[in-house]
Structure formats: C-alpha cells, structure tokens
Amino acid sequence: MSLPGIRALTDPDRRENYDFSHYSDHLVIAQVLAQLNIKVTVYPLNPVSDDRHAWAAHHQAMHDEMNKALQTAGRDLSDGVFGHEWVNNNYMEHVAVHQVLGI
Ligand SMILES: [Zn+2]
C-alpha cells in the first residue's frame, strides 16, 4: 500500500522511499481510473528530476487531471518545495482521490 508512505516525510535522508511510494500511488490511481475508462497522463515522477520545475509541473498536471476527473478539490502544488505543508497538501489530495475511488 503506497498511501501510508506519503503521509509524512519523516526522514529526509530516506527521501527515495517517499518518492517511490508517491509515484507508486499515482500509478495505482491511474490504473483504477483506466479501469473506469478515465485516461490520465502518467509522467515519470520517480526518481525526482533534477529539473524541479519540470517535475513540479508534471506532478501538478497529474493532480489536475485526477481532480478534474473525480471532481475532487485541488491545491497548487506546483512550487515543488517539499516542506511539511506541501507533503500534507499532497497527501490530503491523494486521500480524497482514494476515498472517491473506494481504494
Ligand atoms: Zn501526488
């Protein structure tokens, strides 16, 4: 289960674990949406690109697509700064999507 792995970035030295869980959760969501005949673009989010702007734009695009498809609330996550607030906001959007999809 990938969702618990993105609840918090508890150990910045283990950042790769967070990134893997985060991307895995996006893949799970995309697969479930595909089963509902909702096609969303999957961008390569893991490993996180050195080009933070490109990564943040791709990640925002994935959130925008899933939020639009499911009519879930979205926030601006495009700054790509992985502080506590960003991690929490990202997590809350993933949780909302899971709830709507029943996964
Ligand atoms: Zn995300």
12 upstream amide cis, omega within 30 of 0: no
Tokens of 15: 């950042």
User: Cα of 21 to ligand 1 centre, how many Å?
Assistant: 10
Q: pTM of the predicted model, to two decimals? A: 0.93
User: Cα of 94 to ligand 1 centre, how many Å?
Assistant: 6
Tokens of 99: 């709830």
User: Cα of 70 to ligand 1 centre, how many Å?
Assistant: 15
Q: Considering its fold, how many domains does the chain have in total?
A: 1
Residues 66-96 pLDDT 10s = 999 999 999 999 986 778 899 999 999 999 9
User: Cα of 44 to ligand 1 centre, how many Å?
Assistant: 12
Q: What is the pLDDT of residue 1?
A: 58
Domain of 77, in residue numbers: 3-101
Residue pair 62/43 in contact (Cβ under 8 Å)? The answer is yes
Residues with CB under 5 A from ligand 1 (ion): 90
